């Protein structure tokens, strides 16, 4: 059994307590944080401003975990999808989405997911386990070695608020001035609607909140998002009203458009009524079709009409264009592809031809 403390899994306060227990000065924690997250140290020997005695002590009692991508898919539009194999053999994905003025990294918080949303590929893997704090943070560290990252979104595999302790600790590391130094404006945590955990998140850290809504009636949301049976729309939207928002910020409402299911003008009208008194902006996400799912993407005409109606009602609306369409872009697709190919070599790059999505 591994008794070594994984330093990458500790917040700054926890690292201070760990060092104080060794009789060391509190400020050493900030030094170590800078080495880990700003200089990318992977061993204590690299931390040359620490006393040799402390470095030897740390080498005997602690370790520095890292992640390296087992596979990487690169789309023609620049989207990069990473698959990370964890120490126990499980795997998770992260997606880097390039834009003109920033790169946004979508990271995972669980192996699989227990939410069982009907339209989500990750839900078909079921929940295996929560990611540790270090496994969450190391996704960011690994991708930053490859490309710069400006925004973080917890919208990958898993329900972040179902792993709240580790997610909060990871957020504290990401936001700390001696850690990854992200602005609170640059991190968004998404949820399917775990109401008590939304409140705790808002009390613990300042980040942006995204709520995956996807339906305007309890009847439909009960069917496609089972969490709604526990926290129906009225309860969820009340929690959105109470969520602490810094001045002028808005909650992001994610709405996956499912062709013929939730994309009518009546749906748009109900959405307007539901959000009328909630500071919000709306992300419309045309469904990304994947094998084994009966849902289909709506036509462009339907998408445009839905978007225009919301815009005419003075909502901030963004329709997310499909990114990485020529690779395994939907959450879980690369995991499924690579699991089918086991055993696979570490660091394998998946090249995508112009005519197929097959692995070459």
Q: Is-catalytic flag, 331?
A: yes
Domains and CATH numbers, the chain: 5-63 (1.10.150.530), 98-331 (3.20.20.70)
pLDDT higher than threshold 50 for residue 348: no
- Cis status, amide bond into 60, omega within 30 of 0: no
**Tens digits of per-residue pLDDT, 275-331?**
999 999 999 999 988 777 889 999 999 999 999 999 999 999 999 876 666 665 455
Nearest CA-CA partner of 206 in 176, 236, 239, 178: 176
Calculate what percentage of the chain has a pLDDT beyond 70. Answer: 88
Nearest CA-CA partner of 351 in 69, 70, 73, 68: 73
pLDDT higher than threshold 50 for residue 133: yes
**Tens digits of per-residue pLDDT, 204-261?**
999 999 999 999 999 999 999 999 999 999 999 999 999 999 889 999 999 999 999 9
Residue 221 and residue 233 in contact, taking contact as beta carbons nearer than 8 Å: yes
* Annotated catalytic residue, options 106, 141, 240, 331: 331
pLDDT higher than threshold 80 for residue 52: yes
Calculate what percentage of the chain has a pLDDT beyond 90. Answer: 82
Nearest CA-CA partner of 36 in 169, 150, 174, 183: 174
Strands of the sheet with 280-286, listed across from one edge: 316-319, 280-286, 251-257, 208-212, 187-191, 151-154, 102-106, 91-99, 80-85, 69-74, 348-350
The residue behind tokens 């009518």 is 264
Distance CA 311, CA 315 (A): 5
- pLDDT reported for residue 355: 26
Residue 258 and residue 287 in contact, taking contact as beta carbons nearer than 8 Å: yes
Distance CA 218, CA 216 (A): 7
Distance CA 53, CA 58 (A): 9
- Residue 169: pLDDT band (50, 70, 90) is very high
- pLDDT reported for residue 3: 83
- Residue 193: pLDDT band (50, 70, 90) is very high
Averaged pLDDT for residues 161-184: 98
pLDDT higher than threshold 80 for residue 339: no
Lowest mean pLDDT, pick from 179-183, 196-200, 333-337: 333-337
Averaged pLDDT for residues 252-271: 98
**Tens digits of per-residue pLDDT, 34-45?**
999 999 999 999
- pLDDT reported for residue 327: 63
For the chain, the first-to-last Cα distance in angstroms comes to: 39
- pLDDT reported for residue 152: 98
- pLDDT reported for residue 341: 42
Nearest CA-CA partner of 224 in 274, 189, 195, 260: 260
- pLDDT reported for residue 125: 77
pLDDT higher than threshold 80 for residue 342: no
Q: Is 73 helix (H, G, I), strand (E, B) or coil?
A: strand
Q: Is-catalytic flag, 93?
A: yes
pLDDT higher than threshold 50 for residue 349: no
* Annotated catalytic residue, options 16, 73, 93, 254: 93
pLDDT higher than threshold 50 for residue 344: no
Is pTM beyond 0.85 here? yes
- Residue 350: pLDDT band (50, 70, 90) is very low
Question: CB burial class (10 A; 0-12, 13-18, 19+) of residue 356?
Answer: exposed
- pLDDT reported for residue 271: 98
Averaged pLDDT for residues 57-69: 97
Residue 66 and residue 138 in contact, taking contact as beta carbons nearer than 8 Å: yes
């Amino acid at each position: 059994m591994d008794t070594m403390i994984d330093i990458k899994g500790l917040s700054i306060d926890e690292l201070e307590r760990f060092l104080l227990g060794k009789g060391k000065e509190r400020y050493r924690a900030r030094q170590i944080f800078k080495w880990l997250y700003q200089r990318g140290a992977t061993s204590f020997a690299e931390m040359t401003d620490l006393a040799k005695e402390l470095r030897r002590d740390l080498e005997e009692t602690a370790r520095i975990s890292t992640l390296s991508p087992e596979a990487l898919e690169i789309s023609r539009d620049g989207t990069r999808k990473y698959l990370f194999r964890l120490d126990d053999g499980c795997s998770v994905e992260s997606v880097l989405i390039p834009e003109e003025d920033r790169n946004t990294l979508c990271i995972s918080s669980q192996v699989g997911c227990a939410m069982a949303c009907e339209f989500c590929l990750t839900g078909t893997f079921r929940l295996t386990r929560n990611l540790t704090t270090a496994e969450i943070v190391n996704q960011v560290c690994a991708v930053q070695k490859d490309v710069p990252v400006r925004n973080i979104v917890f919208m990958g595999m898993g329900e972040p608020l179902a792993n709240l302790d580790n997610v909060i600790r990871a957020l504290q590391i990401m936001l700390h001035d001696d850690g990854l130094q992200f602005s609170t404006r640059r991190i968004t945590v998404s949820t399917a609607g775990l109401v008590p955990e939304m409140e705790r998140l808002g009390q613990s850290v300042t980040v942006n909140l995204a709520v995956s809504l996807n339906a305007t009636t309890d009847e439909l949301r009960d069917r496609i998002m089972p969490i709604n049976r526990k926290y129906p729309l009225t309860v969820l939207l009340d929690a959105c009203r109470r969520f602490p928002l810094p001045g002028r910020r808005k909650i992001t409402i994610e709405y996956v458009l499912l062709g013929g299911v939730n994309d009518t003008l009546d749906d748009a009208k109900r959405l307007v009524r539901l959000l009328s008194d909630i500071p919000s902006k709306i992300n419309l996400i045309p469904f990304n079709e994947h094998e084994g799912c009966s849902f289909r993407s709506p036509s462009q005409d339907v998408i445009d009409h839905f978007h225009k109606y919301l815009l005419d009602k003075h909502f901030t609306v963004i329709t997310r264009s499909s990114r990485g369409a020529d690779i395994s872009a939907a959450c879980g697709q690369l995991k499924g592809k690579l699991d089918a190919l086991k055993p696979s070599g570490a660091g394998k790059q998946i090249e995508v031809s112009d005519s197929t999505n097959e692995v070459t």
